[in-house]
Chains A and B, each alone.
Chain A
Amino acid sequence: MDQERIRNFSIIAHIDHGKSTLADRILELTNTVTGREMRAQVLDSMELERERGITIKAQAVRVTWKGHELNLIDTPGHVDFTYEVSRALHACEGAVLVVDAAQGVEAQTVANAYLAIENDLELLPLANKIDLPQADAEGAASELAGLVGDTPDHVLKVSAKTGAGVEAVLDAIVERIPPPSGDPDAPARALVFDSSYDQYRGVVAFVRVVDGRFHAREHILAMAQGTRFETEEVGFFSPTMKAADTLDAGEVGYIITGLKDVAKLRVGDTLTTQARPASEPLPGYKDVKPMVFAALFPTDSDEYPQLRDALERLRLNDASLSYEPETSQALGFGFRCGFLGLLHMEIVRERLEREFDLDLLVTAPTVAYNVTTPAGDVVEVHNPAEMPPERERVDEPYVRASIVVPKDGVGQVMDLCTDRRGRFDHMEYPSPERVLLVYELPLAEIVFDFYDQLKSRTSGYAGFDYDFAGFREGELVRLDVLVGGEPVDALSLVLHRDEAYARGRALVDRLREEIPRQMFDVPVQAAIGSRVIARETIKAKRKDVLAKCYGGDITRKRKLLERQKAGKRRMKQVGAVEVPQEAFLAVLNLNDTKR
C-alpha cells in the first residue's frame, strides 16, 4: 500500500474512559467485523486459541476506511510500562486522546499526553461519553484543549457507546494524522514495539516497518541485541491473524520469529535483513532496567521448585521480569525479582498466587541503588543486605510524579509529598476544580504506601502517575534487624537517615510482639552498622508446664506436645531463636503501611 494511504495511530485514555468501546466501534464501522460477528468471532478465536494453546493477543489491528489502511496499535495501560508505551507510540504518527466527559482529565491522561507529545505525535483530543447525563462535553473539551495546546472546537465529541461521532473520528484520523514517511527503497528497518510468546510458534514480534520491506523466509538481524533468526511468517491482525506476502514501509503487522526466548527480542530493537542490512538502527532503544526489587519466598519451603517453574513461565511473556535465586537464613530459598514498577510487581505477585497457587512471602520492596565505593567503583545494589558497609555515596532513583487533585486537597497532598522528601516542580490548573501538581520524589518513597496515602488524604479523588527522572544522591543508610544477635537478612532496609530511628523502633516493637517467648532472653535490635538504634528484649519464659498428667490424660497431652512440635517445625530459625512466619509477615506488612 502506498504510504500516503496509511495511518498508524493509538488510542490513549485513562482506565475506564472508554478506550475499548471506542476500538470496538471502529472495528464495526469499518466493517472489519459486525457487532454480532465480532463477539462470535472473538469468542471462536478464543476457543480455538484455547484448544491450540495459542496465546497471541492482537497488539495492532488493521482496518480500512474510505480507501485508507488504518492501523490501531494497542498500548499497555500503565506507567510501569512507560517504555513499552513509548515504543508503541513511536510506531504511530498520531494518537486519539480519550477523556471521559463526565470525569475530565486524569493524571494518567496527562502522563500519556506528555508521552505522545514527546514522541511528536499528532494528538486528536476526544471527549467521550457525551451521552451521559452528567457529562460536561464543553468542560472536558476545554481541559483537553488546554492540555494539548489546541482549541476547544477541535476536540471530538463522541459517544463510543451509542456510536455518535465515531465516523468523524475516523475521518479526523485520515485528515489530521500524517502518513508515514519512511523510505520504501532503503534497506529494511522495522521497530519492535511489542512481542508475545506462543508455545507452538515461539516469539511473535509486533513491528512497525519504517523503511523497505519484509517477507517470510528471510534472514533477519535484531540490531541492538544481535539476535539472528529466519522469519517464518509475516502478516497482520484484522482482527484475527492473517498471513501476508510482505510487510511494507509504513505498515504495521507481526513477524513470527521461531525464537524460543522472549529475552532474545526486546521491545525497542530494530529488525533489518541480513542480506541487505541497514547501517543505523532506529533511535530510542533502551535496555529497560527493573527499578523495583523484592525477594519472593514460598511460605512452604517445599514449594521452591514450583516457584522457580512459575517464574520461568511468566518470563516467557514478560521480558521485563528478572529474577535470580536468593537465600535467606531466615526464609530459606527464594528469588530476588526485579520489576519495572509497583504495578508490575503486584501483577507478578498476583499471577504467581492465583495462576500458580503459590503462597508467598514478599520482602519489603526496594529500589536499585547506585553505590560508589571508596575505591571509586559504582555498583548497583538491589538487595539491602548487599549494601556495602563502606560507601562513598549512594544515588537513588527519582521519579517525576504528576498528581491531579481536587483543589481543596492540594495542601494535604503537598504535605504528603514534602514528608516523602518530594521536591516541588510546578503546578498547573487544567480546570477550575482541579490542580495538577508535579513533584520529583525518590522512588523509594513511593514504593511503600504513597498511593494509598494519596487516596486517603483526598477521599479517593487524587490521581497519580510517574515517570523515571534519573538518579540523585541521597542520605541513605542500611538498617539491619537483629534477633538474638543474629541479623535477619530478609528484614534489612535501605532508607533515609532521618527515618531510620522511627522505623527501627517500629520494627523492633512489632517483632517483640510477634516473636513468642523462648527458653532464654532474646534481644531484638535495629542497627545502623554497628550502632544499635533501638532495642527490646523478649524475656525468657518463666514457666511452661503441663499442669497435670495422669493415666487418663496421657494420650491427649502427648498429642498436644506433638502439635506443639509440629508448630515449632514450621517456625523459621534465626540463630537459636524460633520465629513464626507470622512475625515476618507482620513486619513486612508494617513496611507496606509505614507511618
Chain B
Amino acid sequence: MSGHVRHLYVHLPFCAHRCGYCDFVTVVGREGQHGRYVDALLAELELEHGLLAERLETVFLGGGTPTFTDGRELRRLLAALPSAAEVTVEANPETVTPALARLLRDAGVTRVSLGAQSFQPDLLRVLERRASPAVVRRAFYHLRDANFDNISLDLLHGIPGQSAAALAADIDEALALAPEHISYYELEAKQGTRFAHAHGAELVRQAEAMEGYFDLVVERLNAAGYRWYETANFCLAEADGRDLRAQHNLAYWLGRDYLGLGIGAVSTLGDQRRRNAPRLRAYLGSLAGREAPPREVEALDARTRAEERLMLGLRLDTGLPLSEARRSVDDDALGRVERLGLATLSADGNGRRTLVLTPRGRRLGGAVTVELLA
C-alpha cells in the first residue's frame, strides 16, 4: 500500500568550502564518505518508502552543494530515487562541467537551480564564493548545451558593499542569460555567524539605501516579463503552457506534505514535523544498522498549521484561500490591512474567499502576516 506524500527532498550536505553567510547544514571535506552517505540516504528512503505516493510530483536535491558530490555517487543516487515530473538539483557554478550537465540530464533531472549569487567579482569575494562571473556564465551555457530548458538562477541583494548600480548590473547580467526562473533573496546576516561579525557594521550603514533594493529587483524583473509569483521568486510566464514556478517549492508554500531525507532534512507529515539531527556520524551509523536516524519531532496542532498556512500562503501572488487559515486570522486586523491598501479579499462564486496581498502589501509581507495573526 502506498502513501500520500508526493514531494521528496534529499539533502546532500557536502561542500568544498563553507561560505561565511551560509546557515544550511553543510559538511566540508569528508570526500571519502560520499558513498556511505548515499548508501544511508537510500537506506532511509527504503525505511520511509511507505509514506510516498506511487507517483511523485517533485524531487529536489538540495545542499550543501549536491553537484560537489562525487559524480558516480550522484549518478547512483539519482538512478535510485523515484522519478517525478520535476526533478531539481542545486548546483554551484564552479562544479558545472559539460560532463556534469550531461550526467544530470541523463539521470532524469529536469531542472537546475544555479547558485550564482552575483556577477560582481568583488561581491563574490565578500560572499566567499569560488566562482568568478565568467564561471557563472559558463556554467549556465553548459546546462543549456545539455538541453536544460528550466534553469533557475539564485541571486542575492543586500550584499555588504553592494551599490544600487551594482545590483542593477547583476539584474541585467541575469536577464541576459534568460533563465526560466530567478530566486532573488535578501542576504540575511544571521547573528553570531562569522559573516555577521565581519560585515554587520557595513550592513547597518547600508540599511537605508538597501531598503529600495527589493523594489528595484521586483520592478526590473516584472518589466522583463517575469512573474513575481512568490516573495523572493520570479519565473517566465511561458506561452507554451508550461508552469515555470518551482513546483517543489510551491508544494511548501501550498502547505502540502513532504518527505525529507538526509542530515538536517525536515519532513512535514500531517500533524507532525520532524527533523533529522544534523549530525553526519550519527546519521551514517543509524542507517548502516537500518534504523531511523535521530530526529526531533514537532507536533503541529490545527492552529499552528493555520498560522503556517497564513505565513506561507501570503507569499504567493495567488493568495491564500481564507478557509485554510481561518483559525489564525484576526478579523479586525483583516479590516485594517484592507483599509491600508495592503491586501484585498475576493470571493468566488461559491463564497470561498481568497486573501491576496497588493504589491505594496507583498513588500511588507512579514509585517502584514504578523498583523493578521490572531
> What is A's interface to B at a CB cutoff of 8 Å?
519-520, 541-552, 554-555, 557-558, 561-562, 564-565, 568, 576
Contacts and interface: CB of A to CB of B under 8 A. Distances in A.
B367 A541 contact: yes
Interface stretch (B64-72, B92-100, B161-169, B259-267): B259-267
A549 B373 contact: no
Interface in B208-247: 211-212, 214-215, 231-232
A520 B188 CA distance: 24
Contact of B365 (A546, A548, A551, A552): A546
Interface string B183-210: 1011110000000000000000000000
Given A548-B185, A549-B252, A565-B373, A558 B308 contact: yes
B231 A546 contact: yes
A548 B113 CA distance: 15
B311 A519 contact: no
B260 A552 contact: yes
A24 to B, nearest CB: 58
Given A543-B211, A548-B185, A520 B340 contact: yes
A554 B340 contact: no
A544 B308 contact: no
6 contacts: A520-B340, A543-B211, A549-B252, A554-B266, A555-B298, A564-B366
A545 B311 contact: no
Given A519-B342, A543-B364, A548 B232 contact: yes
A552 B364 CA distance: 23
B268 interface: yes
B119 interface: no
Given A542-B212, A545-B363, A562-B307, A554 B312 contact: yes
Of A542, A545, A555, A557, chain B has the most CB atoms within 10 Å of the CB of A545
Interface pairs A-B: 6 shortest CB-CB? A544-B367, A552-B266, A547-B186, A544-B366, A564-B370, A547-B185
Given A547-B188, A548-B185, A555-B273, A561 B340 contact: no
Contact of B370 (A542, A552, A555, A568): A568
Given A519-B342, A554-B268, A542 B215 contact: yes
Nearest to B362: A545
A519 B340 contact: yes
A570 to B, nearest CB: 13
Contacts of A555: 266, 273, 275, 298
Contacts of A558: 304, 307-308, 311
Given A519-B340, A552-B264, A562 B373 contact: yes
Interface in B319-374: 336, 340, 342, 362-371, 373
B279 to A, nearest CB: 16
Given A545-B366, A549-B231, A561-B369, 9 more contacts: A519-B364, A545-B186, A545-B364, A546-B311, A549-B315, A552-B265, A552-B266, A555-B275, A562-B307
Contacts of A542: 211-212, 214-215, 363
Interface in B250-304: 252-253, 258, 260, 264-266, 268, 273, 275, 298, 304
A551 B211 contact: no
Contacts of B318: none
Nearest to A518: B367
A545 B266 contact: no
Contacts of B14: none
A271 B320 CA distance: 78
Contact of A546 (B266, B366, B371): B366
Nearest to B370: A564
Contacts of B311: 546, 549, 554, 557-558, 561
Contacts of B298: 555
Contacts of B308: 554, 558
Contacts of B312: 549, 554
A562 B306 CA distance: 13
Contacts of A565: 370, 373
A227 B258 CA distance: 80
A541 B369 contact: no
A1 B160 CA distance: 90
B105 to A, nearest CB: 24
Contact of B252 (A519, A543, A545, A551): A551
